[in-house]
A and B are shown apart, each in its own frame.
Chain A
């Protein structure tokens, strides 16, 4: 390596091919990363982005091709090689120990925690120095379990920087961040580039890719289908390249709401751990209307979702469904009251990973529709699954596939089909498109809008303000378990909602009422 060269290639992947059985996850993929450059890796779920990064990190061994880091060929199948050579990865799902402090998490794995040579003072000083240089504000002595999602991500990045990473790989880093946190992340990344780091930014959010990257690589079905300097492309072109066809967002037209289907009057619930419960929440979910719930993560969204799911009952206040007060509130009675529930965590709450697609499709209805006197009707289960696969365009080998082998988008389509096919009156959609690609996002939004037009009352919970503002007929903001008054479509600007999200306005609203 000679630093005198104007452009230095720090990473080069040549002809990487990886097959899993009959599936080719990566098909002769080649690209390079230069010093001080941000390359965006763009692609739908299942396009092969994660597999590629797993090969770089030695988690998988490529069938063909090789990886070259700082001019050295990387031994295949060795996870330490890339780490030791200075590549740091920030995973979509954080890999932090919640019961340890920030500095302990950062040195964890880098050096033995109990070692005599470990001087916490020096470690913390170094962490403080890195935080200051990269604008990653975090207290080294804070316990990670108490941190917000945004702060945890900063810890992950610090962890990589602490190990002298010269290449940072970020896998869907903004999926869990608020708009403000995303902006902060981007300024950190720009700082890092300025100091000579190189970044691979994996995403399917086009506006972010356009905002942060120098060069965009588009993966589709395992193949590198396009490479564009960011300055010479636009969102439309990238979207089309990513899905292989023109993309149109579903048109959401304003609706005329009907009668309230579900009403809360000063309902409070218990919190769980550090998550707040609901604090005297009053709201109506009306037929033919999408109600959006905006808010910073961890402000009571889970409590409201649990309440509507039947997992939690009110401790005070009145909850009525179709005008009738609820009693003996459980998931089963919630389903019985016609509430379709799309849970936040589709992997652990929404589906059973090792159950087949057909079995997952009947989790809620096996007792009533797919059995007689305690005997399962497997023939009907199967034909029902085949119908869902066709109606909801679930891409899969068949009804007997284990659900964990499906992509997030296809898993979500199954959940959607499971709850929508019996024409629900109330729909709870908690983060329904988190982590999904554009195609799947548009599909889910389109289906929700369709259900609304058919007369369902929809509650959309999301941390993505764009999504809330685009879909909702009426918006509530939640903060520390308190709910704002309803705002009709188009009456609020993002900054106004942002103020409510930060907790302003609730006192005044309480006095006014």
Chain B
């Protein structure tokens, strides 16, 4: 078998493989559900019900999607410029740490001032965390996949130290968690009485903003040019190094907003289990979205729905929640294959 590039793919060629990839994901999940002793229809029914079946379920899904939109955007922005940011997890925690430091009483300002200040500070922290690997990449050719990936572990241990030491809540009865945020530092709910905070709205706004940057600004043009052909971009006078650094700042800042929104919006304090791997799942989200900023929103909702739905499905029919992880992994692998098939045709020898 062999791959033959398609010069000018048709609309069907560009859309069909991703759709088929999702369909096959569900087929694989159905098979596994059967092996686990469940009825596939019931399993999917319960997942759907768990994710969208009630007002509570929908809000839970939207809440779960919020950090994934941020990390998905962070990864999509970076990957489009061929900056392989695998460190959204560390950048998320950088944002979370800053939020916990500034939001627990260090700054006693009213909400309208405090919230944006903390958001910007969090973004700067996340931006810095990715800026260092980006500088190492552009100056010394150090592979950012290695540096960003490994820095995740270093930073998580650093957070662990903070929560056992300087940031430890004195009233926390010995648990490694930070003090609770002051009310002024909390992101309010969008509608009173509904458990959905402004972080979700901020995520949507960010997606639209990135989409506009991408399509309408010189920075977007430069990032696409550098990502697709850095040599031609450099020759044309585009400041490649500066564009990569700007991309790093933007990407790191977006990932940090996930931490900000989780701490200031959902949890109210910093713990070591703040993120169950949102930084890594952001890579899946970005790939499923084909790196499109608006696609990230859809992909994040899809991924969140599967996770939230799988929880309640597991309670209802007894099929383990690992099904959600398998579905996600399958979807990612098949989507990567599908992307290949949108550009290449398979020929049998």
B233 touches which of A21, A330, A352 (Cβ 8 Å): A352
CA distance A352 to B224 in the complex (A): 10
Interface membership of A166, Cβ < 8 A = no
Which segment, of B109-117, B134-142, B181-189, B213-221, faces chain A? B213-221
Q: Give the one of B217, B220, B221, B236 with max A CB within 10 A.
A: B236
Interface membership of B234, Cβ < 8 A = yes
Residues of B within 8 A of A352 (CB): 225, 228-229, 232-233
CB distance from A410 to the nearest CB of B (A): 15
Which segment, of A7-15, A29-37, A187-195, A358-366, faces chain B? A358-366
Are the CB atoms of B218 and A375 closer together than 8 Å? yes
Interface membership of B4, Cβ < 8 A = yes
Residues of A within 8 A of B218 (CB): 366-367, 371, 374-376
CB distance from A96 to the nearest CB of B (A): 20
Mark A255-286 against chain B: 1 for CB-CB distance below 8 A, else 0. 00000000000000000000000000000000
A363 touching B8 in the complex, CB below 8 Å, given contacts A349-B231, A374-B217: no
CA distance A402 to B229 in the complex (A): 14
CA distance A332 to B234 in the complex (A): 9
Are the CB atoms of B235 and A343 closer together than 8 Å? yes
Mark A381-411 against chain B: 1 for CB-CB distance below 8 A, else 0. 0000000000000000000001011000000
Residues of B within 8 A of A350 (CB): 232, 235
Residues of B within 8 A of A366 (CB): 218, 221
Residues of A within 8 A of B233 (CB): 352, 363
A375 touches which of B217, B232, B237 (Cβ 8 Å): B217
Are the CB atoms of A363 and B225 closer together than 8 Å? yes
CB distance from B3 to the nearest CB of A (A): 11
B7 touches which of A59, A332, A405 (Cβ 8 Å): A405
**Total count of chain A residues near the partner, CB < 8 A:** 39
CA distance A431 to B228 in the complex (A): 24
A331 touches which of B219, B220, B237, B347 (Cβ 8 Å): B237
Are the CB atoms of B347 and A77 closer together than 8 Å? yes
A21 touches which of B8, B232, B234, B235 (Cβ 8 Å): B8
Mark B1-13 against chain A: 1 for CB-CB distance below 8 A, else 0. 0101001100000
Interface membership of B349, Cβ < 8 A = yes
CA distance A108 to B218 in the complex (A): 46
Interface membership of A422, Cβ < 8 A = no
Interface membership of A309, Cβ < 8 A = yes
A353 touches which of B219, B220, B229 (Cβ 8 Å): B229
Interface membership of B45, Cβ < 8 A = no
Residues of A within 8 A of B320 (CB): none
Interface membership of A78, Cβ < 8 A = yes
Mark B319-349 against chain A: 1 for CB-CB distance below 8 A, else 0. 0000000000000000000000000000111
Mark B233-254 against chain A: 1 for CB-CB distance below 8 A, else 0. 1111111000000000000000
Mark B194-222 against chain A: 1 for CB-CB distance below 8 A, else 0. 00000000000000000000001111110
CB distance from B213 to the nearest CB of A (A): 9
Residues of B within 8 A of A363 (CB): 225, 232-233, 236-238
Nearest to B2 among chain A residues (CB) is A79
Are the CB atoms of B221 and A376 closer together than 8 Å? yes
CB distance from A400 to the nearest CB of B (A): 12
CA distance A350 to B233 in the complex (A): 9
Residues of B within 8 A of A353 (CB): 228-229
CA distance A354 to B233 in the complex (A): 13
CA distance A311 to B230 in the complex (A): 13
B239 touches which of A21, A60, A332, A405 (Cβ 8 Å): A332
Are the CB atoms of B2 and A376 closer together than 8 Å? no
> Is chain A's binding surface mostly helix, strand, loop or mixed?
mixed
Residues of B within 8 A of A343 (CB): 235
CA distance A354 to B343 in the complex (A): 12
Residues of B within 8 A of A59 (CB): 4
Residues of B within 8 A of A378 (CB): 216
B235 touches which of A309, A374, A376, A404 (Cβ 8 Å): A309
A80 touching B232 in the complex, CB below 8 Å, given contacts A20-B7, A363-B238: no
Mark A467-504 against chain B: 1 for CB-CB distance below 8 A, else 0. 00000000000000000000000000000000000000
Mark A238-267 against chain B: 1 for CB-CB distance below 8 A, else 0. 000000000000000000000000000000
CB distance from A388 to the nearest CB of B (A): 15
Residues of A within 8 A of B224 (CB): 355
Interface membership of A310, Cβ < 8 A = yes
Which residues of A in the span 69-111 have a Cβ within 8 Å of any Cβ on B? 77-80
Interface membership of A207, Cβ < 8 A = no
Residues of A within 8 A of B219 (CB): 374
Residues of B within 8 A of A311 (CB): 234-235
CA distance A374 to B2 in the complex (A): 44
Residues of A within 8 A of B349 (CB): 78-80
Residues of A within 8 A of B228 (CB): 352-355
Residues of B within 8 A of A130 (CB): none
Interface membership of A465, Cβ < 8 A = no
CA distance A444 to B74 in the complex (A): 44
CB distance from A76 to the nearest CB of B (A): 11
Interface membership of A341, Cβ < 8 A = yes
Residues of A within 8 A of B229 (CB): 348, 351-353
Nearest to A54 among chain B residues (CB) is B4
Are the CB atoms of A375 and B235 closer together than 8 Å? no
Interface membership of A335, Cβ < 8 A = yes
Nearest to A371 among chain B residues (CB) is B218
Mark A317-340 against chain B: 1 for CB-CB distance below 8 A, else 0. 000000000000011101100000
CA distance A335 to B242 in the complex (A): 18
Q: Give the one of A59, A349, A352, A367 with max B CB within 10 A.
A: A352
What would 20 A/B residue contacts be, using CB atoms closer than 8 Å? A20-B7, A20-B8, A78-B349, A79-B2, A80-B349, A309-B235, A330-B237, A331-B237, A332-B237, A350-B232, A353-B229, A363-B225, A363-B232, A363-B236, A364-B236, A364-B237, A366-B221, A367-B218, A374-B219, A375-B217
Q: Which 4 A-B pairs have the closest CB atoms?
A: A363-B236, A332-B237, A331-B237, A352-B229
Binding site for A on B (CB under 8 A): 2, 4, 7-8, 216-221, 224-225, 228-229, 231-239, 347-349
Further contacts, 11 of them, CB under 8 A, given A352-B232, A405-B8: A77-B348, A309-B235, A331-B237, A343-B235, A348-B229, A350-B235, A352-B225, A352-B228, A367-B218, A371-B217, A405-B7
